[in-house]
Amino acid sequence: MSVQFIEINSNSNKLSAILHSASGTIGALIVVGGPQYRVGSHRQFVKLSQHLAAHAIPSLRLDSSGMGDSCGEKAEFYQQTADIDAAIDTMFNQLPQLQKVVLWGLCDAASAILLKMNQADPRIAGLILLNPWVRQEQSHAATMLKHYYLKRLVSREFWRKIFSGGLAFKRSITDFWQTWRSSKRQSTLKPAKQTEYSASNYVQHMLTGWQKTKVETLIISSGNDLTAHEFLDLCQQNSQWQQCFNKAKRLHINDANHTFSTANWRKQVEQASSDFMLALK
């Protein structure tokens, strides 16, 4: 394995990236969401690249526009398609043996990947999506009620803090009431029509991207993460999302937090990722 720093041109911006070379014909582009750079929380992306290289899988991890060492203004995750395209081009230029690439992303990077899939790209062989970000006011409020407030109401520690004065009771009730009201508002999910992605329509465009893609998908989700719960609830409650979800390969790690921060959780993610990619050959 060799590791080298490279620069990528994307919309006149110079992006900083690390290429982990290996002999395999399928590589991984590790798309980085925010606010992160190419190393990742607890060096997650570095360790993933090292694991993949040990299995002969090359990978590229980059700082998106305006993040880390990359130039330009910070791009929102729904504006990362150009950076992803430029990174794929670079991988194929740098790795002569490369035949296909798998896109790997956590949180809003997973969302950026599904948005990218609205554009056909025959070089992409698969998607690995971890706890995709589908945050909307109504769905987030419903998730909070189901997976946060309900647990607090049946928690002895919560009531102990209430009666001991260690918790602001009035503020807790206010927060709960506002969350409940938000959860009852009508969902804003409608068929995607606009071609420009924004904070108000990206979830719909994520769905259309997932529906369009013909490649294999691996969904990795955490059991101790509200972002994951919101995504899983959406896939359970919306028939169109459910159809895509049911076609995907899935790994759910019950106790894991959002970034899979322990060595055990990280290794499960790494192994699932390499197994999925090697099976694509």
pLDDT digits (tens, 9 = 90+) for 5-44: 999 999 889 999 999 999 999 999 999 987 788 999 899 9
Q: Find where tokens 């924004």 sit.
A: 198
CA dist., res. 198 & res. 218, Å (int): 25
- Region of poorest pLDDT, from 98-112, 168-182, 203-217: 168-182
pLDDT at 136: 77
Mean pLDDT of 126-139: 87
Instruction: pLDDT band for 169, please (50, 70, 90 cuts).
Output: very low
Spell out the domain ranges in the chain.
Answer: 2-135+193-279, 138-183
| Structural class in CATH, domain 2-135+193-279 | alpha beta
CA dist., res. 221 & res. 132, Å (int): 8
pLDDT at 60: 98
Instruction: pLDDT band for 181, please (50, 70, 90 cuts).
Output: low
| Cα of 205 vs its chain's centroid, Å | 15
pLDDT digits (tens, 9 = 90+) for 182-228: 555 555 555 556 568 999 899 999 999 999 999 999 999 999 999 99
| Cα of 131 vs its chain's centroid, Å | 5
pLDDT at 148: 60
pLDDT at 180: 45
Give yes or no for residue 158 having a pLDDT over 80. no
Asked if 252 contacts 200 with a C-beta cutoff of 8 angstroms, the reply is no
Question: Among candidates 87, 78, 79, which has minimal Cα distance to 14?
Answer: 87
